[in-house]
Structure 1
């Protein structure tokens, strides 16, 4: 029997497996609305790869203190961590377009206020927190929309494609904002973020799919979705995975310096590995051991860096580690989608996003302490610890991961058909 969401157009569970490779993704992108919604959401999320760096540079330049910049970034991160599940749940109450429009407007205003802040350090902290807590929930929104615009056999590859293409943000956004900040100034850099944020969110909000998909109001209390083992596992493994990535980034910068060309190249290779992994492995069916295998690849890659901090060795090792990142994220998205009711999907993705944000902060913090004590290699020891912990969690809790091979990955309908006795 197939399990379909009302009006979703999801196909039968027994449909043939989605074909991998370029041809398979070409077929996926030809599905009505898919290419447009992917492009719109990537544009709307592009500022996420620019804001932290721009705020760091702007506050440091304004105050002359990296410590002050760190405090403002902490306020920004705390706001983002709080906003994830809260604003995602709001979409089931007031609708996606209203919540996205409100948060985008407030976030853009807060970033603009950071640029022209006349209130000194207090203003930086307050506006940074507001920018974080008003972060538009584009990621939970689009991952809630995906099951409604593709067939069941295309859903898992779509999650993989999404996880892969988001690496475009992390490859190009930091380079662009650094170029603008150093050549034109940090204030124009923040203005650029506002322009892209407003334009990208407007494009995404105007997409027909955003208007057509209605998230039912959840009947469960706030946070109850975390009681589902799959959501909790995805949140924990996401925390550990992104913690490892954040530690790697700190280690690369500590090794080559902020000015070193090698740092940018090595981090780009890391992101390209993730992009290649997602595109290359996205069609592989997801079994119970999928997360463990993919996180093991990450753990092995980041651990190999400890052997040598030579740029060539580091780049090769991080390319290997990258091969597991987008595929692991795709597993998180797919198993969450398949394990919660449609009304709970946005909040579930919000919690997963919060776990990743906390992981990024924890990874950076632990790496920073170890860099102070042991030098740049300390950051990669931290990354190895996070990566190995993630793989171990996936192995120990393997029975908590659903087997999606041959199964529909779309969310559980909020209204089930009632069988009739005849």
Structure 2
């Protein structure tokens, strides 16, 4: 922990971490709030699912695009525009009665305009600390983001069910604007200028490292989404157990990120981190074979093991991407990684849902374990594609330009 205290004493680091966590807090609330609101208005979970799918498609599509825009128009301009449009779209969803197609249109708009705070902050980090501190900073970031997934669903569920879905959406707008303004106005954001990329859009995916980070992120978050569906199916929507079990899962990730944030990253690190996730998920499958009064304890224990590998795996994705692309391409690269994770979440939830209907909650955990096992296989088979970051500067590759020489 002494290393993290030193890290947080670096000028601007604590402020920018707090600001970006606040700005991203709505990410853990919006999907659930839209689902609850549209279901309440229309009386149909199917309609609510369509609106949520439109929002998810918009967010997955826009990530690399808006991230790349930051190198063209500047971080502050892009974040200001997207934050304003996203807040307006959610405001319309909350206050204007519409047909299902109208809700889908504004859900899509809210997704398309989701502010690329995650790409922005991970592009800024290398400018705040020295190369020795960058990997621990990525690990701390990946760990602390679990706070969003622990608290945000609880907050929005309490507000939406006890006060109303409209106040819940208005709360999201308030946090989106307040947190976004805090992050946008942070001095560190104003000091960083992302160079305009000279490469065509999408070419950053030709980097084996970026492609591997995108694929492994897809598999990791697919496993997590399947777990969430399985936990809800096991313990029910209304029970306290589901929330507590998922909180333990997130706490495992938080603990793993803090505990292993300083461990040097080798090409085999991703396989080992996926291995921890796989071990925990396979144990979870056996924990739910027979549902008893002690199942929650066994599932919590096994998911605690699985969670230990999640934040370290995410931190490795961010660090290896940072070390392998030019600074002008980092924001777009993180955008693609985010898109891979969103697709993984959607596919993991869908597969888990079908298996829950077919074979019961255990099917969701089998799906999660399968995602993780494929992650181990990909990490081992393509181990040569992962960089060796031991003793290496993980800052982005500097951009260079031709220099006129007088002869």
Partner of 2:305: 320
Provide runs of 4+ in structure 1 moved above 2 Å. Answer: none
1:96 deviation in Å?
0.2
| Counterpart among 341, 356, 365 of residue 380 in structure 1 | 365
Partner of 2:45: 66
| Counterpart among 91, 96, 102 of residue 123 in structure 1 | 102
**Alignment of structure 1 residues 332-351 onto 2, 5 Å:** 332-351=317-336
Equivalent position SS for 1:412? coil
| Counterpart among 172, 177, 181 of residue 151 in structure 2 | 172
1:416 deviation in Å?
7.4
**Alignment of structure 1 residues 149-168 onto 2, 5 Å:** 149-168=128-147
- For the residues of structure 2 that align with 1:284 and 1:409, how far apart are their CA atoms? 14
1:117 deviation in Å?
2.4
| Counterpart among 220, 227, 231 of residue 199 in structure 2 | 220
RMSD value over aligned CA atoms? 1.1
Partner of 1:211: 190
Are residue 199 (structure 1) and residue 158 (structure 2) matched? no
Are residue 50 (structure 1) and residue 3 (structure 2) matched? no
TM value normalised by structure 1: 0.93
Partner of 1:361: 346
1:417 deviation in Å?
10
- For the residues of structure 2 that align with 1:416 and 1:163, how far apart are their CA atoms? 33
- For the residues of structure 1 that align with 2:96 and 2:65, how far apart are their CA atoms? 27
- For the residues of structure 2 that align with 1:220 and 1:31, how far apart are their CA atoms? 33
Partner of 1:285: 264
Partner of 1:411: 396
* C-alpha distance 320-45 of structure 1, shift in aligned 2 (>3 A): same
Deviations along 1:177-212, one digit per CA (max 9) or x if unpaired, are 000001100000000000000000000000011111
1:294 deviation in Å?
0.3
| Counterpart among 137, 151, 155 of residue 116 in structure 2 | 137
- For the residues of structure 1 that align with 2:89 and 2:304, how far apart are their CA atoms? 37
TM value normalised by structure 2: 0.97
Deviations along 1:217-243, one digit per CA (max 9) or x if unpaired, are 000000000000000000000000000
What stretches of structure 1 of length at least 5 have no aligned partner? 1-21
1:122 deviation in Å?
1.3
Partner of 1:295: 274
1:50 deviation in Å?
0.2
| Counterpart among 396, 402, 409 of residue 381 in structure 2 | 396
1:273 deviation in Å?
0.1
1:415 deviation in Å?
1.5
- For the residues of structure 2 that align with 1:416 and 1:336, how far apart are their CA atoms? 22
* C-alpha distance 169-23 of structure 1, shift in aligned 2 (>3 A): same
| Counterpart among 6, 9, 12 of residue 33 in structure 1 | 12
Indicate conservation of the 8 Å contact 1:230/1:400, yes or no: yes
Indicate conservation of the 8 Å contact 1:83/1:133, yes or no: yes
Partner of 2:292: none
- For the residues of structure 1 that align with 2:4 and 2:377, how far apart are their CA atoms? 32
Are residue 329 (structure 1) and residue 314 (structure 2) matched? yes
Deviations along 1:124-144, one digit per CA (max 9) or x if unpaired, are 100100000000000000000
**Alignment of structure 1 residues 83-102 onto 2, 5 Å:** 83-102=62-81
- For the residues of structure 1 that align with 2:45 and 2:313, how far apart are their CA atoms? 34
Partner of 2:244: 265
What stretches of structure 2 of length at least 5 have no aligned partner? 289-294
